[in-house]
Every structure is written in C-alpha cells, then in structure tokens.
A and B are shown apart, each in its own frame.
Chain A
Amino acid sequence: MRCEDVTGILLEYDGGGLPPPRRGRVEHHLEACATCAAYANTYTAVQDLVQEALAVELSQADQADLDMALQTAIRRTA
C-alpha cells in the first residue's frame, strides 16, 4: 500500500469501517511510515479540533433577547 492509498481511505479507517484485511494493511503501513502516521494523527485531530472550535456560547445580551422573543411568541400563540 502506498501513502496515497492510505490517505484515500483514512475516513473509513478512522470510522472503523474498514474490513480486517485492508485495515491490517493500513496499520502495517502506518507502523512503517512515520509521515503517514503523522498525517493520520492530524486527520483524526482535525475532527476533534472542529468539534471544539465550533462550540460557541450566546452572549448574555443575545440570550436575553432570545428569552424575550420566545416569551412573546409563546404568549401570542397560547
């Protein structure tokens, strides 16, 4: 297996969706190739980083506006 092939199936590998023979070949390559091992680590890290970075909070002012808007809308339909 070449680096390019490994990169092409990282999604399946990471998601646990690769059947055993191919999974074994990927693992074998990752043990022998430090470049791909680093690449695979960062590919996985991107998922955690996105998960963390996109988590946001509403500002207090926005939260207060939201509470107000919801109350008004609910009262109107009650």
Chain B
Amino acid sequence: MVEDDDALVARLKAGDDTAFTVLVHRHSGRVYGIGLSMLRNEQDARDVVQDTFLNVYRRIDSFRGEAPFKSWLGRIATNNALMKLRTRRRKPEVSLQIRSPKFNDDGQHERDIVDFSPLADKISESRELGQRIRETVERLPDKYRTVLVLADYQQLSMKQIAELLDLTVPNVKTRLHRARLAVRESLADYLSGDD
C-alpha cells in the first residue's frame, strides 16, 4: 500500500529520514515545475528544489497539517522561486506580445474561433503541443507568467496570489486574464498553422 503524505510527515516528525526521501521523490517534479516555469532556467529551478526540500526538512515541526502537505510545500517553493526571481541577474526577457482577440465596432469577434478545447484531453499524447505551451508560458513577461503559473498550475486563489505578490486582487485578475488570452491566441495560431 502506498503511504500517504500525512503518514510520511508523521514519520519524518518522529525522526525517520527514510520518510523524507519518499516525500522528496514524490514531490520533486512538482517543485521543479514551479521553479522552472517561474524562473525559466534549469539550474535556478534545481536550486529551488534543493532549497525547498531543505526548508521542509528543517521546518517540518512547524507544519501543523491544517492544509495538505502539498499546499504547504507549494507555498515554500513559490516563495523560494519568487525570492530568486527578485534577486538574480536577470535573463533578458524574450517577451511574447500580450495579445487579445480583435472586435469590430459592434463588439463582435472579428475572427472565427476554432474550438480547440478537445485537445486538453489529448495533451499527454502530444509532446509537441506540451512543448509549445511551455514555450508560450516561458515567453510571457514576468508579471503575467508569475500570476498564470500560480493560478493555473499551482491552483492558488486570487487572494493567495495577491498576498504573495503584494498586489490587489483586481490587479491579479487583470494580469491573469491577459495572460490566459495571450496564451490562447498563441495556441490558436499554432493550431491553425499560422505560426
């Protein structure tokens, strides 16, 4: 039987380091994903993974289990990634233009919209599509990418994101909306063969 996170955390608190190893292996990909998508650099992302799990090891006694371990871990990882994002030498951004759909004077869509939503179920079969999405997200300017990653990858609430980034909730929503529109436009171009 697979031991759940709560049981592993309990063992770790009792001083059993083998439980720590299991937690690291179970969640390292997720933490790496947070680091990579926020920092756009593999070495920085690996540093985030290492720092995060060291924090977990050292602070496990302060984890009270009110939220799932995974959320607590995600918050530590996010904070580490944000700290790095603020302090590191900046990699020049190769920014995606933030585009929105075009409307005519009557407020109607100017272009036909192809419904590519069924692809969401097939993404695991298409490496190319996954790659395209990662590249698109990577090319978003920092302020849009960060919010998109926190909301749509990490599933944090608008309020949680606002607190983490020191923004107002309406501000978070505006950035998130524009980021989603931009990713949508880019995917639509790609899938229609325009790009």
Seen from chain A, the residues whose Cβ lies within 8 Å of a Cβ on chain B are 2-5, 7, 10-12, 15, 35-39, 41-58, 62-63, 65-67, 69-70, 73-74, 77
Q: A36-B109, A39-B101 are in contact. Are A46 and B187 (CB under 8 A)?
A: yes
Minimal Cβ-Cβ distance residue in B for A8: B177
Residues of chain A within 8 A (CB-CB) of B57 are 70, 74
B180/A11 in contact, CB under 8 A: yes
Residues of chain A within 8 A (CB-CB) of B148 are 50
Minimal Cβ-Cβ distance residue in B for A47: B152
Q: Which of A39, A41, A53, A67 contacts B24 (CB 8 A)?
A: A67
Q: Which of A38, A54, A66 contacts B113 (CB 8 A)?
A: A38
Residues of chain B within 8 A (CB-CB) of A77 are 58
Residues of chain A within 8 A (CB-CB) of B166 are none
Question: How far, in angstroms, from A53 to B125 measured CA to CA in the complex?
Answer: 11
Q: A51-B152, A54-B149 are in contact. Are A66 and B28 (CB under 8 A)?
A: yes
Minimal Cβ-Cβ distance residue in B for A5: B107
Min distance, Cβ A53 to any Cβ of chain B, angstroms:
4
Question: How far, in angstroms, from A11 to B151 measured CA to CA in the complex?
Answer: 11
B115/A38 in contact, CB under 8 A: yes
B134/A53 in contact, CB under 8 A: yes
Residues of chain B within 8 A (CB-CB) of A11 are 173, 176-177, 180
B180/A62 in contact, CB under 8 A: no
Minimal Cβ-Cβ distance residue in A for B101: A7
List B166-183 residues whose CB lies under 8 Å from chain A.
173, 176-177, 180-181, 183
Is B29 an interface residue when CB atoms closer than 8 A count as contact?
yes
11 A-B contact pairs sorted by A residue (CB < 8 Å): A38-B115, A39-B101, A42-B117, A50-B152, A52-B124, A54-B134, A55-B29, A58-B29, A66-B24, A70-B24, A70-B54
Residues of chain B within 8 A (CB-CB) of A53 are 123, 129-130, 133-134, 137
Which of A52, A57, A62 neighbours the largest number of chain B CB atoms within 10 Å of its CB? Answer: A52
Residues of chain A within 8 A (CB-CB) of B152 are 46-47, 50-51
List B136-195 residues whose CB lies under 8 Å from chain A.
137, 148-149, 152-153, 155, 158, 173, 176-177, 180-181, 183-184, 187-188
